[in-house]
Chains A and B, each alone.
Chain A
């Protein structure tokens, strides 16, 4: 069975139609990249998939593991295995990084009928995962994303992903705000989780992320439609010639 199947997806924000019939299938273990110019509907697609309020599906279907998610709330979709790494991670004043991780992990465990995590073991687990991403313990004692640098925010997103072990990870412009070194660390973190049962959808404007997280498939999104699909060479083509030629050809 396909992990994710998007069929003829149309979506609006208020009266504005953003997505005009998207078709996309992702299997376990695959990494798909969605590239596109600004305003093409990339972020909208990530919010529609994750069930954000205000993003209305007007036609089509989204199936996760063969089940429609359209009637599911954002938190239900998350517990069903969907994870969104935010382009702009949100500040939660007073909520420490460690406690937020624990709340998220426990929400999934309850869904699965498991006991909550043992506090001490969890701290050990988080510290090990954090060390791999160059996240220091001090950062986990600070409030979520408050005063984090761009790189720290993205690393914290990937840390959450590594602990939550989603079946579908959507990475929205994960490269934005990262310098070369941070980009490498974050990409390594993502690559460590690819393969196996996890499918990934990497949304990006630039090719540079895709030289670190090499996709199996590349799709070009423009005007709310996928206008071209191909392998990683398509990303290089965009790098070379820009989106204009592709958009005109479509």
Chain B
């Protein structure tokens, strides 16, 4: 696939301004700034949660108070005043629309600008959308159709009320409450996110898609997503984000937990395009995400694919715990940094099961004055007889003021484990650029073409619709990086 005219138009649109830097004017109902047990109780009450959920949140909060922000990543993180953040904001129209007709037209117009497929046409394309606007899900489509096959796809707050047994059993089972600083914070204050349950033997009839968008000024986004795939089931989940331009840094600390039972497969794809800030990084999103899946059953498979182009700071390591015998973990990643962006991202593959296998393909592209780090852990534990891992880490440098770093951690406690790590660092060569220019493509398109070629192994893992969007994003993200 190559860049199209739309890419060029998008690049032009992006000149001088973040393409999605508009603000929707909708009255919001918000809790006061700051974080304490009262605010947590307020969130819990707003969500109409049962008592046990509030207790769970408070427990997390009390853990968090005793924890410190991690400092081991190659990131320069400005001090964050957690008391200067709003933890709850909900669009007023969020009283529960029954259909799209009841959704605030201005919201729909915003989605339209973002190109979110929240309409009938897209039903033909087979995309179900649980759109998250600020912190409350305002519209969920295709649920009836999904329900026919027994699939549950709903806002997590609804799942807490409707399916408490599943939530009690699985929430926090993959990412424990006190796993890390940001996951503990999320557990205390999460406001929404998605819940997916695929029953035994069901192949989810459509790709499930959630678009996130931060809209309210100074509102932290604390999404929490839980996906459970029972024996012999399959689901593909898409997550994409865009955010409007802001002056103050916005905090984002999401948690995603995946549980795959015997012979189940979960494919989780992300295109992340949070506002990266101005050329100094000012105003960009801080993205501290904990994503982890567990292959509980034998032959279970979890595949993470991510295209990360946005955020001022990215701290993100989608991981797999390969517990089941012959279970499979995959991580395909493209991380693009430009300007003053900093990304420290990678994965963890924890091999516990006999014959478990993992593949890591990471493509890092750095431009401008950005810093781009791959950090990955491959760990083969004693019972993981015959475990195998293959890792390939490629870095591409654009210009000479950026940095690319690769930090692999490899631990093998079983002599039968096989772990391979390959890494390359390269530049866009002047020869390549001239070759494209001589064929008539301008510099932006040439760079986009070369970079998309470099990322191809990862891009082909994305669902088709996402791949097109991701290609455009990569072009936009590298705008102005050459010359």
Q: Does A185 contact B (CB under 8 A)?
A: no
Query: Closest chain B residue to A50 by CB distance?
Result: B438
Complex contact B5–A78 (CB within 8 A): no
Q: Does A110 contact B (CB under 8 A)?
A: yes
Give chain A residues whose Cβ lies under 8 Å from the Cβ of B4.
Answer: 106, 116
Give chain A residues whose Cβ lies under 8 Å from the Cβ of B452.
Answer: 94-95
Complex contact B439–A164 (CB within 8 A): yes
* Contact A90 B437, CB 8 Å, known A103-B3, A107-B445: no
Complex contact B438–A78 (CB within 8 A): yes
Shortest A8–chain B CB gap in Å is 25
* A79 CA to B438 CA, complexed, in Å: 8
Complex contact A107–B439 (CB within 8 A): yes
Give chain B residues whose Cβ lies under 8 Å from the Cβ of A78.
Answer: 437-440
| 0 or 1 for each of A79-108: is its CB under 8 Å from B? (1 = yes) | 100011010011111110001101110111
Query: Closest chain A residue to B432 by CB distance?
Result: A90
Give chain B residues whose Cβ lies under 8 Å from the Cβ of A164.
Answer: 439-440
Complex contact B441–A107 (CB within 8 A): yes
Q: Does B106 contact A (CB under 8 A)?
A: no
Give chain B residues whose Cβ lies under 8 Å from the Cβ of A54.
Answer: 430
Complex contact A108–B449 (CB within 8 A): no
Complex contact A90–B2 (CB within 8 A): no
Q: Which of A41-96 contact B (CB under 8 A)?
A: 50, 52-54, 73-75, 78-79, 83-84, 86, 89-95
* A249 CA to B65 CA, complexed, in Å: 90
* A69 CA to B371 CA, complexed, in Å: 39
* A65 CA to B87 CA, complexed, in Å: 65
Give chain A residues whose Cβ lies under 8 Å from the Cβ of B443.
Answer: 75
Q: Which of B317-357 contact A (CB under 8 A)?
A: none
* A140 CA to B445 CA, complexed, in Å: 20
Q: Does A247 contact B (CB under 8 A)?
A: no
For chain A, which range describes its interface: under 10, 10 to 19, 20 to 34, or 35 or more residues?
A: 20 to 34
* Contact A53 B434, CB 8 Å, known A95-B449, A111-B440: yes
| CB contacts between A and B, total, < 8 Å | 87
Tell me how many residues of B have a C-beta within 8 Å of chain A.
30
Complex contact A92–B449 (CB within 8 A): yes
Complex contact A106–B5 (CB within 8 A): yes
The stretch from B14-22, B142-150, B296-304, B454-462 touching chain A is: B454-462
Q: Does B431 contact A (CB under 8 A)?
A: yes
* A110 CA to B431 CA, complexed, in Å: 24
Give chain B residues whose Cβ lies under 8 Å from the Cβ of A110.
Answer: 5, 8
Q: Does B56 contact A (CB under 8 A)?
A: no
| 0 or 1 for each of A171-191: is its CB under 8 Å from B? (1 = yes) | 000000000000000000000
* A106 CA to B8 CA, complexed, in Å: 11
Task: Determine which of A53, A79, A107 lies in contact with B430 in the assembled complex, contact meaning CB atoms within 8 Å.
Answer: A53
Q: Does A143 contact B (CB under 8 A)?
A: yes
* Contact A107 B440, CB 8 Å, known A92-B449, A92-B450, A116-B4: yes
Tell which of A93, A107, A160 has the most Cβ of chain B within 10 Å: A107
Q: Which of B404-434 contact A (CB under 8 A)?
A: 429-432, 434
* A102 CA to B2 CA, complexed, in Å: 8
Q: Does B453 contact A (CB under 8 A)?
A: yes
Complex contact A94–B457 (CB within 8 A): yes
Q: Does B67 contact A (CB under 8 A)?
A: no
Complex contact A92–B432 (CB within 8 A): yes
* Contact A107 B442, CB 8 Å, known A75-B437, A102-B2: yes
Complex contact A90–B449 (CB within 8 A): no
Give chain A residues whose Cβ lies under 8 Å from the Cβ of B434.
Answer: 52-53, 74, 90
Task: Determine which of B429, B440, B453 lies in contact with A95 in the assembled complex, contact meaning CB atoms within 8 Å.
Answer: B453
Task: Determine which of B2, B3, B429, B435 lies in contact with A89 in the assembled complex, contact meaning CB atoms within 8 Å.
Answer: B435
Complex contact A92–B438 (CB within 8 A): no
* A53 CA to B443 CA, complexed, in Å: 12
| 0 or 1 for each of B449-483: is its CB under 8 Å from A? (1 = yes) | 11011111100000000000000000000000000
* A240 CA to B429 CA, complexed, in Å: 40
Query: Closest chain B residue to A78 by CB distance?
Result: B440
* A99 CA to B440 CA, complexed, in Å: 14
Shortest A104–chain B CB gap in Å is 4
* Contact A75 B454, CB 8 Å, known A90-B432, A90-B435, A95-B449: no
Give chain A residues whose Cβ lies under 8 Å from the Cβ of B5.
Answer: 106, 110, 116
* Contact A103 B435, CB 8 Å, known A92-B449, A95-B449, A164-B440: no
Complex contact A74–B438 (CB within 8 A): yes
Shortest A120–chain B CB gap in Å is 15
Shortest A63–chain B CB gap in Å is 19
Shortest B365–chain A CB gap in Å is 12
Complex contact A104–B441 (CB within 8 A): yes
Query: Closest chain A residue to B433 by CB distance?
Result: A53
Give chain A residues whose Cβ lies under 8 Å from the Cβ of B432.
Answer: 90-92
Task: Determine which of A74, A100, A111 lies in contact with B437 in the assembled complex, contact meaning CB atoms within 8 Å.
Answer: A74
11 contacts between A and B (CB under 8 A): A53-B430, A75-B441, A90-B431, A90-B432, A95-B449, A95-B450, A100-B2, A103-B441, A104-B439, A116-B5, A164-B439
4 more CB-based (< 8 A) A-B contacts, given A94-B456, A104-B440, A106-B4: A83-B438, A92-B432, A92-B453, A103-B2
